[in-house]
A = this chain, B = another copy of it.
Amino acid sequence: MTDLWPDVRPDAARRLMAAAVAAFGERGYHATTTRDIATAAGMSPAALYVHFPSKAAVLSAISRSGHEKALAMVTAAAAGPGDAAARMRVLVTEFVAWHARRHRVARIVQYELTALPEPDYEAVVALRRQTDAVVRSLIEDGVSSGVFRVSDIRSAARAVLSLGIDVARWYTAESKPDPETLGADYAGLVLAMLGAAGA
């Protein structure tokens, strides 16, 4: 199911996280019990507490690593080669494709923020602000270099991120098109939205 977290040890902790991703992603955090997670990972309910101090800690581990992955992806794309339009095309393609391919993780990342305990919530909000800032400055870059034409940069940045984030809400294993095609489609729409010259 998930070959994420290749470095998480021991193996049982990774199996628990994978089971939690499936359950949180399908039913939501509050609708999932610790028994659901443990038995899906092939263990007794108590085994979860050998590897995690609480149910919320499992959520935090998933949410933090997902946010870090998303930020790394966006940062790398924004720092890549080419003009603002080329970099934005890569950014949207990857961001959207990730939200489709990893839609269960992405759902947890995007929609279970309020279930996080206080210190983890703050950490994750900081990561989100960084992601916002990267997208905003890429749009600013494009506008000042004459590649983009938008009236309000804040609204435009929010719209770009919204397009990607909302994919996690509706995308399922049966959805069409495949994640990469969807990403490319959306990248075209975003460039048009930003008034890119070549679009």
Contacts and interface: CB of A to CB of B under 8 A. Distances in A.
A162 interface: yes
A165 interface: yes
Contacts of A186: 155, 159
Contacts of A158: 170
- What is the count of identical protomers in the complex? 2
Q: Chain A contact residues: over half helix, strand or loop, or mixed?
A: helix
Interface residues of A, number: 35
A165 B156 contact: no
Nearest to A150: B189
A1 to B, nearest CB: 20
Interface of A: 26-28, 30-31, 110-111, 114-115, 150-152, 155-156, 158-159, 162-163, 165-167, 169-170, 177, 182, 185-186, 188-190, 192-195, 199
